[in-house]
Structure 1
Amino acid sequence: MRMMLPIGMLLGMMGLITPSSRADETTPLTEMNARFRAIYARAGSLTLKPDSPVILLEGDDLVLLHHGERKVERAIPKGYHDRKAISHLPLGLVVLLNEVGPMGLTDADRTDLTEIRARAEAAQRYLPKLGWTGDLLARQEKIFAASIAFIDRALQKGAPPAAEIQQFARDMAPLVMSNAAESTALQIDGMHSIVRKWQKAMPPEEWKKLTVVIVGAQMPRKGNLATQYFAKLLNEPGEGRRIIYAESLWEEPKALRLLATHRVDRKVAVAFFNDDERMHRDLLDDAAKDYLAHFDWNK
């Protein structure tokens, strides 16, 4: 059984069609190009072959599309999000106070700080319910105590100077990064337990055809944890042939649409250039480098 996902190709993703690619008039050339676009769109109907599995990371979930079935398992545990939420407290304070204007705290700023303080105290009281002990619990208590004290200082004396904000951030950084290190282990261990289970249930020849689509935001794309994990697992250099980062494509059909684009591009790149990665960069890349190397900037 094949899973058919008819789609209209996102031509802009491969750089062939951009928002400004339009003609002022209809000519035989524009009509020919319109026909090309229709053919390209039709080529983008994504067919998931039964023996070519796809794994998607969508938020907290790993999704396996294989043999016409869709399996979903939660990969990122609650402990990851608990540490993340606590770490966001000092990060949020630095963001807020760094944006205070020359006139000092506004009424809206004071309202934000007061509300954050109330929520921080409530979260601090919730800590014992997490069952954390030792260094883990002590670290969170330090974050809460320092953050609440910093809020009180701002409410009483006004916006802290930049040097004080920076010192607060530097004091919090080791605690935040310790939380980040533990969250990293939780996410990777969670993903790996699921992926290994799926791998063991899959014939080796089908596993070799696996493609991974990671749905994520723009900022964490560089050095992305999931990309690093799957690159190690599949012995790939990173994004490319078997690992695709679907930036800000939060709906599964859109992420699969990007996968279709990559597959079409790869075939075109091999046909024209004998390089399956060539269409994953601007077609004008090499020519632009050559032209700019000798460009007369004074003309």
Structure 2
Amino acid sequence: MKYLKPSFLFIGSVFFTLAVHASGACPEFPYFQPKNGPLALVNCDFHVQYEKRVIQIMNSFGTPDGRPVILNLGGALLLKYNGRTENVNITPSTYHNLKSFAHAAFAIFLVLSSTPPGPLSTATQNTLREIQKNLQLAAKSLTKLEFSTQERDNTKKLADLTNAYLAQLLLRPYYTRRDLDTYYKNARPLMLKSGKMAAEIELTLLNKAVNRWLSQMTPQEKNRIGIVVATAHQARAQEISLQYFARKFKLKFGEGAVNENGFVVMEDKFDEASALKLLARHFLDREAAKIIFNDPGRLQRDLLADGGKAVLNSANFK
């Protein structure tokens, strides 16, 4: 009987395989075409093996023999290295407070952008009045915030200017494009100065953490490091930590993923699992492209890109 059990298991697995092949089902990836027939199974084989390899690479990040990884997840900086994970906050409360006062100036545009110049509706007035009330309360707390003298002075000027413009809007109550332009002409340098102050806070803490981490690594580990920077959509263009890492590690970033090599940008997601999976796909694609296309960066462009360019340059598209 002990010889029959494996036989039954083998026969059962054969019937299961035949059933799956007969239906052409790919339960792991039901959204890929073709959905049925032998080619569905061929396609399924690829996707299953690809995701399996992605998980293997992810699991190797930060292990004693694996690749060191630095993740900047919207100000939460993570190092995965030598079997441990370390977290550093590079956007403390002062950073967020500086940006929040500037956001009050931005909020005025957001409210008025849906209202043509002229009289303000009751609903719009109520919204502006609420913004004014909240900003006035925030301005009263300025002395309690951990601001430097320069940070406090600039923030107070911006808050006073914004409060004065809100009072003007609510007193009339209407607005003109000229008045709005004048307000932003005066607010702009103060907003940009706040931005520079916030950037200095973030970059100083980022540099301190990265230098400390790099001091623990061998030259070989530094060369193998993987970096993910999470950004909001469009913010990736010259995002300050992208600029920092590019300069620090002599890396490139730009349009899409064309220049990415161990340095990956993730848009509109800020969680560790998504960052690690994206980085694993990046390294897997470069590994595959090097063998298959003799070009490590080939899969960082659309696989159909070269063919598409040739087609669009043909006579049919002139």
- Indicate which of 37, 59, 75 corresponds to 1:60: 75
Other-structure match for 2:48 = 38
Q: Does 1:246 align with 2:266?
A: yes
Other-structure match for 1:10 = none
| Structure-2 change in CA distance of 1:254 and 1:142 (3 Å) | same
Contact 2:232 2:267 in 1 (8 A): yes
- Indicate which of 123, 134, 143 corresponds to 1:128: 143
* Aligned-pair Cα RMSD in Å: 2.2
- Indicate which of 284, 290, 302 corresponds to 1:270: 290
Q: CA deviation at 1:50?
A: 2.2
Q: CA deviation at 1:272?
A: 2.2
Aligned length: 280
Query: TM-score, normalized by length of structure 1?
Result: 0.86
Q: Output the amino acid matched with 2:64.
A: P
SS in 1 for 2:270: coil
SS in 2 for 1:219: coil
Q: What is the distance in 2 between the residues matched to 1:245 and 1:132?
A: 31
Other-structure match for 1:207 = 222
Contact 1:104 1:158 in 2 (8 A): yes
Q: CA deviation at 1:294?
A: 2.4
Q: What is the aligned-residue identity percentage?
A: 25
Q: CA deviation at 1:194?
A: 0.8
Q: Output the amino acid matched with 1:256.
A: L
| Structure-2 change in CA distance of 1:74 and 1:93 (3 Å) | same
Contact 1:98 1:165 in 2 (8 A): no
Query: TM-score, normalized by length of structure 2?
Result: 0.81
Kindly provide the CA deviation profile for residues 91-136 of structure 1, in whole angstroms up to 9, marking residues without a partner as x.
Answer: 1112211221578533332221111111111111111123546543
Q: Does 1:234 align with 2:245?
A: no
> Which protein shows a greater Rg?
2
Other-structure match for 2:193 = 178
Contact 2:69 2:225 in 1 (8 A): yes
Q: CA deviation at 1:77?
A: 2.6
SS in 2 for 1:173: helix
| Structure-2 change in CA distance of 1:294 and 1:79 (3 Å) | same
- Indicate which of 64, 70, 81 corresponds to 1:50: 64
Gaps of 5+ in 1: 1-17
Other-structure match for 2:310 = 290
SS in 1 for 2:141: helix
Other-structure match for 2:111 = 96
Q: Which structure would you say has the larger RCO, counting Cα contacts within 8 Å and 6 or more residues apart?
A: 1
